Amino acid sequence: MQNTPTLSFTNIESLLVGIPKIDLIYKAGSAVNIDLKITCSNDCVAVLRESWDENKIEFIEQFKILLLNRANNVLGVFEVSTGGVTATVVDIKLIFAAAILANASGIILAHNHPSGNLQASTADRMVTRKLIETGDILDIKVLDHIILTRTGYYSFADDGEM
């Protein structure tokens, strides 16, 4: 018969001393601006262009998300990643961690194409599908995916791809 040690509260407490504590917090800069409501892709692009560094839009690829409450009011814009000339990393865990921390009911995906090409790539479509599936599981609706260039934009939702 094997002798298994018994765990008491004091034993567990001493074991937990070295384990990092994780705090999940979200600090809103201000109250939700009810005037900043997304009703169409043009509204979304206007908000995104305000948050985008126009000096980088033709230089490096960036991926951001627009965080929305249930009424589609903007809670914030989160920069997910900055990459190189042809690609950037889209970290699904990071995207939904930000959405959960902001208590967002919906998100809009956005990235730029430094080339100026407004066509969605196969990789763009694949990551969009994966994010929609993850959002469905978490009850966070992925409402659109916007591709920005200096002169225009492409909306997955407007083109019937959502």
pLDDT the model gives residue 14: 62
Give the pLDDT mean for 150-156: 97
Residue 106 has pLDDT above 60, yes or no: yes
* Cα 88 from Cα 127, distance rounded (Å): 12
* Cα 74 from Cα 68, distance rounded (Å): 5
**Residue of higher predicted confidence among 114 and 23:** 114
pLDDT the model gives residue 57: 92
Distance from CA of residue 161 to its chain's centroid?
19
* Cα 106 from Cα 144, distance rounded (Å): 10
* Cα 14 from Cα 115, distance rounded (Å): 56
pLDDT the model gives residue 13: 60
Residue 22 has pLDDT above 80, yes or no: no
pLDDT the model gives residue 54: 87
**pTM of the complete model beyond 0.85:** no
Per the structure block, which two tokens stand in for 51? 């948050």
Average pLDDT score over the chain: 87
Of the candidates 84, 83, 104, 85, the one whose C-alpha atom is nearest the C-alpha of residue 95 is: 104
* Cα 154 from Cα 128, distance rounded (Å): 14
Cβ burial, residue 82 (10 Å; 0-12/13-18/19+): middle
- Report domain extents, the chain: 24-155
Residue 26 has pLDDT above 90, yes or no: no
Residue 153 has pLDDT above 90, yes or no: yes
pLDDT digits (tens, 9 = 90+) for 114-134: 999 999 999 999 999 999 999
The CATH class of the 24-155 domain is alpha beta
Contact between 26 and 103 under an 8 Å Cβ cutoff? The reply is yes
pLDDT digits (tens, 9 = 90+) for 45-83: 999 999 999 899 999 999 999 999 999 999 999 999 989
